[in-house]
Amino acid sequence: MDKSICFITALFGNDDKLDVPGRFKRNPEYDYFLFTDINEECLDVDWDVINIKDHPEIIKVSSSVRKSRYPKFMSWKLLESFGKKYDAIFYCDAWLTPDINKNWEEFSDKMKNNDFGFLQAPHHIKSIRNGGILAEMTLIRKAGKDIQHSMVKTRSYLQSYDSSVNLSESQYYANTIFGYDPNNETVRKMLDEFWSMYATEEITHRDQPLWNFLLLKHNVKPINMPTDLFIRNGVYKKRSYMNDIRTQIINILIDKIGAEHYLEIGLGDAYNFNSVSCKNKVSVDPCISDDSRNSNPTFKMTSDEFFAQNNQNFDVIFIDGLHHADQVEKDINNSLRFLKKNGYIVCHDISPTSEAMQIVPQAQKEWTGDCWRAWVKIRSTNPNVYMFVVNADMGCGIIQKGSQSLLRLSMECSELTYEHLNVNRKLWLNLVSIDDF
């Protein structure tokens, strides 16, 4: 027999920053689904796990955050494609679980009997409730959950989509939990519209600004949802989106020059590579590290071996292989030989934040190596490039063909210490903030 109520959550990605779902008691009258791209054996949960990693809409978008938004907003469509129909679908973030003692039928009925069958709580922060979309976007940037570049793009995208929507309107709802009637035509249309806009990746990966924009555009208000319908018994992991900044920077540069050929030196577990949006992508890794052992680079070899046989030019090259100064220097110089005229090289881990993390050989998990030494050497010897480092994600160095005035150093780069770097960091690296990038 068909069940009338379904709960869903989503968990995507393969890093240690993922929320941990709590255990909970199920009501046998209802269905409970966790949509994911993680192998079921790795998940010990009370949800029924549905792996949708190969779904075309999931493959289409780049990051794990974006992937998780497909089931979050479109599970009604997914479930219908599996032949499952419900009167009500309730979503919660994966660290929350539905409270078995609540009267879910009552909320299902409320949604069914409303023109706009959507249940949601107003945002818990007053300044966001009052200041609307723009207020939240300011806070998203300040909290390091996305970057200024993305906020600017989001604002202009939303304004050009419908300029009559007031982005400062004092109406703002939270998306941590919500419920809806999947048979309500307005709801279906709006969720479809949400996904078609979100999947373009022209806007921030945070979903609240877009959803609230659509509520205003369609002049609808959700039914108020009590926030205690779900229990907080899982583990909420505060994700530092700034750790993914390298990927955002690479995608911004690809977008900026319409790049079609991307090279990544040092694939690792392909976390970054899989989220880079470019027509042709090539990766190089000898697969000697723990994280790269199971990955599948285009060229399974060292960067030196790769460049020795390469005859292809690239628009954007990401250098993230062996983090030793002499190797990084070789990788940069080789990359310059195969970089197209207006292309960019991005070098990871150029600005270590402690002495220990840059010591070679590697002695701790959080490690940048001494890539910074290669950077400083090129800053002091090659006048035919322009170089700066974005101060995020351990320093993302960006190199273009061009010109720079050379640093004057009083000693060989190999003799420089971390203390020297620390004192001269801004000048030597040509450090810029993520907002100025």
Using the rule CB under 6 A, is 71 a contact of ligand SAM? Answer: no
Run of H or E residues at 327:
helix 325-337
Instruction: Provide the sign of the torsion angle of the four alpha carbons 126, 130, 132, 138, taken in this order.
Output: negative
Query: Binding of ligand SAM at residue 275 (CB under 6 A)?
Result: no
Interaction of residue 322 with ligand SAM, rule CB under 6 A: yes
Q: Which is nearer to ligand SAM, 13 or 286 (CB)?
A: 286
Binding test (CB under 6 A) with ligand SAM, winner from 265, 282, 316, 346? 265
In the list 288, 363, 384, 411, the residue contacting ligand SAM (rule: CB under 6 A) is 288
Does 96 bind ligand SAM (CB under 6 A)? Our answer is no
Interface with ligand SAM: number of residues (CB under 6 A): 21
Smallest gap from Cβ 313 to ligand SAM, in A, equals: 19
What does the per-residue mask of binding to ligand SAM show for 326-355, with x meaning CB under 6 A?
-x----------------------------
In terms of CB distance, is 157 or 367 closer to ligand SAM? 367
Owner of token pair 């023109």: 115
How far, in Å, CA of 390 to CA of 234, rounded? 35
Q: DSSP string spanning 162-209? A: -TTS-TT-S--EEEEEEEE-TT-HHHHHHHHHHHHHHTTT-S-S-SHH
412: CB partners within 8 A, 6+ apart: none
Q: Which of 272, 351, 358, 400 is close enough to bind ligand SAM by CB under 6 A?
A: 272
Q: How many CB atoms lie within 10 A of CB 431?
A: 17
Contact flag: residue 285 with ligand SAM (CB under 6 A): yes
Applying CB under 6 A, which of residues 63, 97, 204, 303 lies at the interface with ligand SAM?
303
For residue 56, how many C-alpha atoms fall within 13 Å in the half-sphere facing its CB?
0
Encode 203-214: b = buried (16+ Cβ within 10 Å), e = exposed.
Answer: bbbbbbbbbbbb
Of 289, 298, 310, 362, the residue at the interface with ligand SAM (CB under 6 A) is 289
Distance CA 181, CA 110 (A): 9
What's the closest the beta carbon of residue 291 comes to ligand SAM, in angstroms? 6
The answer to whether 397 contacts ligand SAM (rule: CB under 6 A) is no
Identify the helix (H) or strand (E) that includes residue 262. strand 261-265
Residue 370 is a binding residue for ligand SAM (CB under 6 A): no
Instruction: State how beta strands 97-98 and 230-231 pair.
Output: antiparallel
Query: Does residue number 320 form part of the binding site for ligand SAM (CB under 6 A)?
Result: yes
Binding site for ligand SAM (CB under 6 A): 264-268, 271-272, 284-289, 291-292, 302-303, 320-322, 327
